[in-house]
Structure 1
Amino acid sequence: MKKPKIKTMEELSVAIGVSRPTLSRYFQSPDSVRGSTAKKIQLGLERVEYVPNFFATRLNRKSTGMIGVIIPYLNDLFFTKLLESIEMAAMDAGYTVITQCSHSDRAIEARAAETFMSMNVDGTLVVPLGNRSDLVVHQRLQSRLPFVLVDSRPATMLEVDFVGTDHKQSTGLITKYLCRVGKPPIFLAMPRVNFNAMEREKAYMDCITALGHKPVVIGTDLVEDQWYFEAHGEAVLNDFFARGQFTDRSILCVNDRVAIGALRAASRHGLVPGRGAKGGLRIAGHDDYPLCPFTTPALTTVAQDFEAIGKAAVSRLIEVINNEDTDDTPRIQLFDGVLKLRESA
């Protein structure tokens, strides 16, 4: 037989034969009611079609059991992998993740922060846009809720807990590798709006200088408005390759998406980057974007530890939520990158 649909808690209390407050306590914590009553409610729920209102069952709790996460892009598999690790760690800890995307828009990012404050989530993890972020909103968010920055750290928010990659170590690792196998690499950068990009650029310059070579940085300006990542990498190198420049050099790209564009530019000019190819062109990236093994040639890069970063971010946030750390000094957790050698370099 088809189960009768129950829409409200009041209807459910009549159908099962227990009071509305008792039902509310049960949905908040089954252990909070007598065993015989809990059994009665369980049997009653089996006879009807009823789904408890997620938010209503949390209204009177000290904890909503929710963590808010803000990411900058939905179409970037790096953030997909990072979000996956955050969600898995949060679920293991008994929390529900509510995700908002800023879509590379300062106003949308600010509205997402306001939304989490209005929902009274237990805490927030934020991957900021960069220097386009509204830092006043982030500071307000920090004053209202437990707050941890993930992946990227504004220079104006050094007092906030942060979990990410040690870009000095990771960029230095691949810079040294490229110096061992060929000519010192040039650095294909991005416009200086992204904190990680700026950190990696500086790390490259420091490392290459320490090795006794002259740093060469290209791509700090947009070729055209709104050209980012793959399109930016392709456009910058297409211009240089068309003039016969850098066709025999190692090129370290600021991230893998820019490197994918660089690979396309090489293909358009009949160039084949790689250890086994003639001419000396090598192209490498940073992040270990999930598509890197499937590019042609497969992209050499430095892998960020998505899983470790996600777990550490959730763990730190829960510590703050539970007031387990009375030290006001910001906790900074940085993870090393791992070299992934493939065909392109």
Structure 2
Amino acid sequence: MKPKSVGIRDVAKHVGVSTASISRTLNSPESVSSELRMRIDAAIAELGYIPDAAARALSSRRTRTIGAIIPTVDNAMFARGIEALQSYLSLQGYLLLLATSGYDPETEARQAQNMASRGVDGLILRGDTHTDALRRLLAAQQIPFINVGVYHPDKPYASVGGDNGAAAWRACRYLIELGHRRIGMVAALTRNNDRAAARVAGVRRALAESGLALRASWYIEVPYHLDDARQGARWLLSSPREDWPTAVVCGNDVIAYGVLLEAERRGLKVPDELSVMGFDDLEWSRHLRPSLTTMHVPTDEVWSRAGEYLVNALSGRQTTLHHEVDVHLVVRESTARPWTSGAAHSAGSDMGTQATQEIFHADG
């Protein structure tokens, strides 16, 4: 005979409480004491009880599932963010349901509809480029959601992220302060990507404020792949050497890796002959040689706070609608003063080394 499975009554008897107490703990853990939660969790683990998700959803009208739609999984920053989000949600007793959109708003809308039909309690969306159909769905179904990777305090819906335009302005401004006047950019594709577009706008603003401009021949957009980034750098450096930029701002760190690789292939010394600026501060950026100067984005914090917002909103707790994270400059070895002479070359290299030592000292 098939052995009898462990049920909620078995757990209640083991703990010495009613089945209603077990149900309340499973469906609304914040409504019971931490001591009772610990006793029930221990009993569930000891007995091997598996709660019936469908029954819990019917009784509480909640599935304790959060959906997240990201553009792609082929992105180290998204992978790190999703890992942080899943860790946080797991501690809160929530399950993460993940889907990708391929940077296509129509695909994102279809994925959101699929998730809504499966009863997700809330949604995490990347950026704020969404179709009208998706916005209508969220409003009609009253699904709590938050946009990650952007900070829009003027909008009536939640957001958590950095000010991409201001951060890119700071990155470009740093190169200008070093003495660069010939600055190019290898950006991520801006179509359906408000974060990438904001970074391009920030670079253009910094240049304009200094009486400079982003030449058409010094600007290119590429997909988020090393091969495409290398091709972009190849195109950027295809003109005669005297027409090259002395510094390049990259839309993200992976693009910057591609530029560094292409510079190495061409025999260019970074930063002596070309300064390279990244954006995101991925783990590899500090291990490269030369290590990458970049804008640090606290990815773990962004995604954890997105999960925290939804969990609090679903529990009826007061929560902040918008949260801006600190995106700051990390100076390493890939940037220095533009080369003009042997003396300037030496001074620029010394300055880059000194700045690198200072930032690593500050980081401990």
Is the TM value for this pair above 0.5? yes
Superposed displacement of residue 148, structure 1: 0.9
Q: Which residue of 1 aligns with 2:149?
A: 151
Letter aligned with residue 147 of structure 1 = F
1:140 is matched with which residue: 112, 137, 141? 137
What CA distance in whole angstroms lies between the structure 1 residues aligned with 2:140 and 2:44?
A: 44
Superposed displacement of residue 92, structure 1: 4.3
Letter aligned with residue 195 of structure 2 = N
Q: Secondary structure at the match of 1:270?
A: coil
| 1:58 to 1:182, Cα distance in 2 relative to 1, 3 A | same
1:102-181, aligned counterparts within 5 Å?
102-106=101-105, 108-128=107-127, 133-144=130-141, 145-152=143-150, 158-181=155-178
What CA distance in whole angstroms lies between the structure 2 residues aligned with 1:266 and 1:126?
A: 36
Asked if 1:72 corresponds to 2:71, the answer is yes
Asked if 1:339 corresponds to 2:329, the answer is yes
Conserved in 1, the CA contact under 8 Å of 2:221 and 2:232? no
What CA distance in whole angstroms lies between the structure 2 residues aligned with 1:49 and 1:290?
A: 39
What CA distance in whole angstroms lies between the structure 1 residues aligned with 2:257 and 2:225?
A: 8
Letter aligned with residue 301 of structure 1 = T
| 1:54 to 1:205, Cα distance in 2 relative to 1, 3 A | same
What CA distance in whole angstroms lies between the structure 2 residues aligned with 1:24 and 1:258?
A: 55
Q: Which residue of 1 aligns with 2:262?
A: 265
Q: Secondary structure at the match of 1:295?
A: coil
Asked if 1:101 corresponds to 2:100, the answer is yes
| 1:319 to 1:178, Cα distance in 2 relative to 1, 3 A | same
Letter aligned with residue 72 of structure 2 = Y
Letter aligned with residue 236 of structure 1 = G
Q: Which residue of 2 aligns with 1:83?
A: 82
| 1:104 to 1:206, Cα distance in 2 relative to 1, 3 A | closer
Superposed displacement of residue 342, structure 1: 1.7
Q: Which residue of 1 aligns with 2:281?
A: 288
Q: Secondary structure at the match of 2:161?
A: strand
Q: Which residue of 2 aligns with 1:36?
A: none
Q: Secondary structure at the match of 1:59?
A: helix
| 1:322 to 1:244, Cα distance in 2 relative to 1, 3 A | same
Deviates more, 1:307-316 or 1:104-113: 104-113
1:314 is matched with which residue: 285, 307, 321? 307
Conserved in 1, the CA contact under 8 Å of 2:281 and 2:296? yes
Asked if 1:238 corresponds to 2:238, the answer is no
What CA distance in whole angstroms lies between the structure 2 residues aligned with 1:318 and 1:296?
A: 42
Superposed displacement of residue 89, structure 1: 3.3
Letter aligned with residue 250 of structure 2 = C
1:48-63, aligned counterparts within 5 Å?
50-63=49-62
What CA distance in whole angstroms lies between the structure 2 residues aligned with 1:14 and 1:343?
A: 62
Deviates more, 1:112-121 or 1:91-100: 91-100
1:305 is matched with which residue: 298, 314, 325? 298
Conserved in 2, the CA contact under 8 Å of 1:71 and 1:79? yes
Conserved in 2, the CA contact under 8 Å of 1:74 and 1:103? no
Conserved in 2, the CA contact under 8 Å of 1:65 and 1:121? yes
| 1:141 to 1:15, Cα distance in 2 relative to 1, 3 A | closer
Q: Secondary structure at the match of 1:286?
A: coil
| 1:80 to 1:41, Cα distance in 2 relative to 1, 3 A | closer
What CA distance in whole angstroms lies between the structure 2 residues aligned with 1:44 and 1:176?
A: 57
| 1:45 to 1:65, Cα distance in 2 relative to 1, 3 A | closer
1:189 is matched with which residue: 187, 190, 194? 187
Conserved in 2, the CA contact under 8 Å of 1:124 and 1:148? yes
What CA distance in whole angstroms lies between the structure 2 residues aligned with 1:175 and 1:67?
A: 37
Letter aligned with residue 25 of structure 2 = S
Asked if 1:250 corresponds to 2:247, the answer is yes
Q: Aligned-residue CA RMSD in angstroms?
A: 3.8
Percentage identity across paired residues of the two chains:
22
Superposed displacement of residue 301, structure 1: 0.4
Q: Deviations over 1:296-320 (max 9, x none)?
A: 4221100111233223323332343
- Where in structure 2 are there 5+ consecutive unaligned residues? 33-38, 336-364
Conserved in 2, the CA contact under 8 Å of 1:190 and 1:219? no
Larger helix share, 1 or 2: 2
Superposed displacement of residue 6, structure 1: 4.3
What CA distance in whole angstroms lies between the structure 2 residues aligned with 1:29 and 1:95?
A: 13
| 1:5 to 1:195, Cα distance in 2 relative to 1, 3 A | farther
Q: Deviations over 1:13-67 (max 9, x none)?
A: 699999xxx758635537999xxxxx99987985x65533334333311433222
Q: Secondary structure at the match of 1:287?
A: coil
What CA distance in whole angstroms lies between the structure 2 residues aligned with 1:105 and 1:342?
A: 35
| 1:190 to 1:50, Cα distance in 2 relative to 1, 3 A | closer
| 1:142 to 1:317, Cα distance in 2 relative to 1, 3 A | farther
Letter aligned with residue 290 of structure 2 = P
Q: Secondary structure at the match of 2:323?
A: strand
Q: Secondary structure at the match of 1:189?
A: strand
1:193-232, aligned counterparts within 5 Å?
193=191, 194-216=193-215, 218-220=218-220, 227-232=223-228
What CA distance in whole angstroms lies between the structure 1 residues aligned with 2:206 and 2:11?
A: 71
Q: Deviations over 1:254-290 (max 9, x none)?
A: 111211111122122111212xx3x3x1111111122
